[in-house]
Amino acid sequence: MKRLLPLVALGALASGCSGGAGSDPMQYGGDPQLPEPHRGLLPTMKIASPAAWGSARPQVPAGYTITAIATGFGICRQTLVLPNGDILVAEGRGGGEPALRPKDIIAGFIKAKGTSPAKSGNRLTLLRDANGDGVYETRIVFADKLNAPYGLALVGSQLYVADQDALLRFAYAPGQTKASAPPVKVTDLPSVINHHWTKSLTASADGRFLFVGIGSNSNITERGIAAEVDRAQIWQVDAATGAHRAFATGTRNPTALAIQPGTGQLWATVQERDEIGPDLVPDYLTSVRDGGFYGWPYSYWGQHVDTRAQPQDPRLVAAAIRPDYGLGSHVAALGLAFSSAAMGDRFADGVFVGEHGSWNRSKPAGYKVVFIPFRNGRPAGPPIDFVTGFQGANGKTFGRPVGVTVDPRGALIVADDLSNTIWRVVPAAKQPVAEAPTRPAQPQGKQKQPGSYTPY
């Protein structure tokens, strides 16, 4: 199969010419333009070419500053701001599904080039800024020996962590820097194959329930429909008993969940399917309806049938809900956080969305953090760039944003899993004195992880 590689590269160039030509359709908001499905001999693609930040920095709007508060993580993807201002960082990379086809071997090899070679940390790291000067001088491993932790949620004195195979619970007391005991398992989570391995997490407003986002086991059922039992769903888990039910289904990869302040409504960002064109299918932000079906695998954006899923299910297609707000195709929205007044007037009402960027587009989309303004509790208006500059003019990629978290003191915490950096964006009045020195938590392993890649 090695002989195919140069041809794959050549074909990528060829298909790039057709895929990237013309102006991009408008795909933001509730009624995105959806072209006809299309795929050439090769899917359109562009793999990020990683480079060190050097003197480059992400760009933020006027009146805001951005600093790196810590780096050297083992794939930092989601963060949680604790009540005392400490930041918990979930480090890890999961997956590792076996290759089913020659394609999986080649695609895994190609996609791995666009991600960090760092080893999976499998731990939670705590960052503390004791005097509030913006320098996070303390860095402690809060808990280790986890299994690709991703989603984080604090309910009272209980810290919930979603590993790639289980929902765990730690006891947490204010000011604590290290877990006092090994975690208690709340419930197992679907983990067979684990194509989309990330388990996103948020807690209901009253703390009784946890919502867990579970991604599909394939792009579009190519591993068989049996592999999709309990996948592409958002679970509602009873915090007391661990019992669960499917709260919503057909959500291909619900990579970030958040509860809207005030209403208690659950919102999600969902990553849609690949390989039917550079402008299909838009990833979306949506309020999640109890019992709702969102299309995958049978249809997208309501009733647009995807014939790749066989046998088809017209009854489910008819029931499929149109999402609230398109974010654009292949932006890979992996972070979601509701803003607050502490972020400044312009960015007070709305959500921040971390867009990791994806491979299935010749002209990269995403690779930034955007702000979706809300009015009366609903999205209102096009996305506003909030953090950009993750890709340089030279085609190099310095970072890829994942989780976004609003610190109620007035800061946006952005996890970047390519440069393995935690960024902090603050309104200028809260400008820190100096950029924190960057310290690796532990010596990093040098070897790459063969066969492991991020399926985005």
Partner 1 sequence: MAASAETGPARPIHPLFAFLLAADVPLFLGGLLSDLAYGRTAEPQWANFAAWLIAGAMVFTGLALLWAFIALLLARPRWGWVLLCFVLLLATFALGLVDNLHHARDAWAIMPAAPILSGITSLVALLAAAVGLSTIRTGNRT
39 near partner 1, judged by CB under 8 A = yes
Could you tell me which stretch among 85-93, 221-229, 284-292, 358-366 binds partner 1 (CB under 8 A)?
A: 221-229
Could you tell me which stretch among 34-42, 54-62, 253-261, 313-321 binds partner 1 (CB under 8 A)?
A: 34-42
Residue 38 or 322: the one with the smaller Cβ distance to partner 1 is: 38
Residue 101 or 315: the one with the smaller Cβ distance to partner 1 is: 101
Alpha carbon separation from 388 to 140, 149, 167, 243 (Å, rounded):
29, 26, 33, 41
Residue 112 or 152: the one with the smaller Cβ distance to partner 1 is: 112
42 near partner 1, judged by CB under 8 A = yes
Among 11, 29, 242, 373, binds partner 1 (CB under 8 A): 11
Among 137, 144, 222, 230, binds partner 1 (CB under 8 A): 222
Q: Measuring CA to CA, which residue among 126, 168, 128, 127 is closest to residue 146?
A: 168
Could you tell me which stretch among 161-169, 222-230, 236-244, 338-346 binds partner 1 (CB under 8 A)?
A: 222-230
Least distance (Å) between residue 101 CB and partner 1: 4
Residue 39 or 185: the one with the smaller Cβ distance to partner 1 is: 39
Contact positions with partner 1 (CB under 8 A) in 268-327: 275-276, 307-311
Angstrom distance (rounded) from CA 436 to CA 69: 5
Residue 93 or 196: the one with the smaller Cβ distance to partner 1 is: 196
Residue 274 or 355: the one with the smaller Cβ distance to partner 1 is: 274
Q: Return all residues near 120 (Cβ < 8 A) that are at least 6 apart.
A: 74, 75, 91, 92, 93, 94, 148, 449, 452
Q: Measuring CA to CA, which residue among 321, 303, 262, 266 is closest to residue 288?
A: 266
Residue 307 or 442: the one with the smaller Cβ distance to partner 1 is: 307
Angstrom distance (rounded) from CA 174 to CA 1: 55
Among 17, 31, 35, 103, binds partner 1 (CB under 8 A): 103
Could you tell me which stretch among 73-81, 174-182, 213-221, 259-267 binds partner 1 (CB under 8 A)?
A: 213-221
Among 30, 35, 63, 102, binds partner 1 (CB under 8 A): 102
101 near partner 1, judged by CB under 8 A = yes
Residue 98 or 156: the one with the smaller Cβ distance to partner 1 is: 98
Residue 41 or 434: the one with the smaller Cβ distance to partner 1 is: 41
Give the pairing type, strands 282-287 and 292-293: unpaired
Angle at 101 between CA 97 and CA 105, to 5 degrees: 65
Structure tokens at 353: 């969305």
Among 83, 207, 224, 291, binds partner 1 (CB under 8 A): 224
Could you tell me which stretch among 26-34, 162-170, 220-228, 411-419 binds partner 1 (CB under 8 A)?
A: 220-228
Among 60, 166, 179, 220, binds partner 1 (CB under 8 A): 220
Could you tell me which stretch among 26-34, 38-46, 80-88, 111-119 binds partner 1 (CB under 8 A)?
A: 38-46
CB 12 within 8 A of CB 355: no
1 near partner 1, judged by CB under 8 A = yes
Residue 36 or 206: the one with the smaller Cβ distance to partner 1 is: 36
Structure tokens at 15: 């298909």
Tokens 């803003």, residue?
339
Residue 42 or 387: the one with the smaller Cβ distance to partner 1 is: 42
CA atoms 48, 6, 194, 232: torsion sign: positive
Number of residues that bind partner 1 (CB under 8 A): 27
CB 391 within 8 A of CB 367: yes
Among 223, 322, 346, 396, binds partner 1 (CB under 8 A): 223
216 near partner 1, judged by CB under 8 A = no
Least distance (Å) between residue 232 CB and partner 1: 14
List residues binding partner 1 (CB under 8 A). 1, 3-4, 7, 11, 39, 41-42, 100-103, 106, 218-224, 275-276, 307-311
